[in-house]
Structure 1
Amino acid sequence: MPAVRIIRRTVLPPAGAWRRLTDWERHGAQVPCTRTILVTPPPTRVGTVFTARTGVGSVTFDDPMEVTLWRPPVAGGAGLVRLEKRGRTVTGWAEIEIRGAPGGGSEVHWREELRVRGLPRFLDPVVAAAGRALFGRAVDRLLAAK
């Protein structure tokens, strides 16, 4: 599976970065031609399900995800959320870890392994590069949003 690793620093405290990066509906607004559909009512917890629907017109695909680990940051500790991708087109997992940074602010670690069904493995480096660009942009925009 192609692996995506993104690390970002922000002036936001861990709780603030956590709120922004786990606002699933806002994720869709950061990815072109995508919207997020919440299947499970808030608040987010283990078992929460949502779908990222990407496409134009009638050509779409769904990326359903389930929260399988939900550990918000607490004073002095890191926060970690794990999502399992349960779709027919995209499978794999994603983790978002948020740690306090020395001197203040936070450090965000986004890890993702994904497989796009139907794509040959020799395209894994292209999928990984596209994932780094797409998810890196989304993380930057989510952390910068007011």
Structure 2
Amino acid sequence: MARFTVVQEVGAPAGVVWAALVDWPRHGRWAPLTVVRTVTPRPDGVGAKFVARTGVGPLAFDDPMTVTLWQRPTGDGSADEPGRCEVAKSGRVVHGRAWFSVQPLPGSRSRVVWDEDVTVSPRRIMRFAGPLLSAAGRLGFTATLRAFAKDVEQGR
């Protein structure tokens, strides 16, 4: 199993940060070589499904996901409850789960915590590659969340 956590502070209110994070197609702006499309009529809430396609040409793979938990932040103040979204990953290559939370902070800021707990097929490679995949995931998502924060802070 590959497990990692990335934390990023964003200079924007929790409601704005949440709205950007759950705009699934928008993830392609921050994640390199990735295009995301929703596959259910409603893109939000429990049961929503979307697919991230990552890679180039024959080296690309689909990462289908289904939302299993959906709790918006209760407000933008530091005393308000954080938002949390969890997804189940059910692809041929990547399986497991991912989740993020958006914690309101003072001064119209937010903290995003992103966790992944995934397995990659063929599963037998995980015994040896798990630590490497965890490190690569942490590095990749650190860059992705930095790009996300910059995008949101610039009001795009």
Q: What TM-score comes out, normalization by structure 2 length?
A: 0.87
The answer for the alignment partner of 2:11 in structure 1 is 11
The answer for the alignment partner of 2:130 in structure 1 is 124
Q: 2:119 aligns with which of 115, 120, 144?
A: 115
Matched, 1:87 2:109: no
Q: Paired residues, what number?
A: 146
Equivalence map 1:1-146=2 (5 Å): 1-75=1-75, 76-118=80-122, 119-145=125-151, 146=156
Structure 1 residue ranges (4+ consecutive) displaced by more than 4 angstroms after TM superposition: none
Query: Is the partner of 1:9 in helix, strand or coil?
Result: strand
Does the 8 Å contact 1:9/1:107 carry over to 2?
A: yes
Query: Is the partner of 1:31 in helix, strand or coil?
Result: coil
CA RMSD after TM alignment:
1.4
Residues 39, 105 of structure 1: CA spacing in aligned structure 2 closer, same or farther, 3 A cutoff? same
Query: Is the partner of 1:44 in helix, strand or coil?
Result: coil
Give 5+ residue unaligned stretches, structure 2.
Answer: none
* CA drift at 1:13: 0.9
**How far does the alpha carbon of each residue in 1:12-47 deviate from its partner, in whole angstroms, 9 at most, with x for none?**
111111111111111123222221121012341110
Higher relative helix content:
2
Moved more, 28-37 or 77-86: 28-37
Query: Is the partner of 1:120 in helix, strand or coil?
Result: helix
Give 5+ residue unaligned stretches, structure 1.
Answer: none
Query: Is the partner of 1:67 in helix, strand or coil?
Result: strand
**How far does the alpha carbon of each residue in 1:30-73 deviate from its partner, in whole angstroms, 9 at most, with x for none?**
22222112101234111000011122223321100000001111
Query: Is the partner of 2:92 in helix, strand or coil?
Result: coil
* CA drift at 1:103: 4.7
